[in-house]
Amino acid sequence: MKKSLQIILLGIFIISLNACTGRNAMIGNDRIYHNFSFNTWEFNGRGDKDTVEIMDFLYGSPNGYAARYFKERGETRGCPQGTNETVNMPRKDLQKLYVKWKDKPTGKVQEVSLDLTKKLPKNFGEDHRMFFSFKRDQLYVYVITPDRRAPDEPPNGPRASDYLKTITIYPEQ
From the list 64, 69, 47, the residue with the least C-alpha distance to 116 is 64
pLDDT one-digit tens code per residue, 30-65: 888 899 999 888 876 655 667 899 998 989 888 877
Positions of the chain with pLDDT under 50 = 17-28
Q: pLDDT at position 7, please?
A: 62
Q: Round to whole Å and give the CA distance between 157 and 165.
A: 9
Its pTM stands at 0.77
Asked if residue 8 is part of any domain, the answer here is no
Asked if residue 23 is part of any domain, the answer here is no
Asked if residue 120 is part of any domain, the answer here is yes
Asked if residue 106 is part of any domain, the answer here is yes
Asked if residue 15 is part of any domain, the answer here is no
Residue 100: domain span: 31-170
Instruction: Give the contacts of 103 (CB within 8 A, at least 6 positions apart).
Output: 51, 52, 109, 110, 136, 137
Cα torsion angle, 172, 114, 70, 38, sign: negative
Asked if residue 93 is part of any domain, the answer here is yes
Q: pLDDT at position 66, please?
A: 79
Instruction: Give the contacts of 117 (CB within 8 A, at least 6 positions apart).
Output: 94, 95
Q: pLDDT at position 173, please?
A: 72
Asked if residue 66 is part of any domain, the answer here is yes
Domain total of the chain: 1
Q: pLDDT at position 122, please?
A: 87
Asked if residue 165 is part of any domain, the answer here is yes
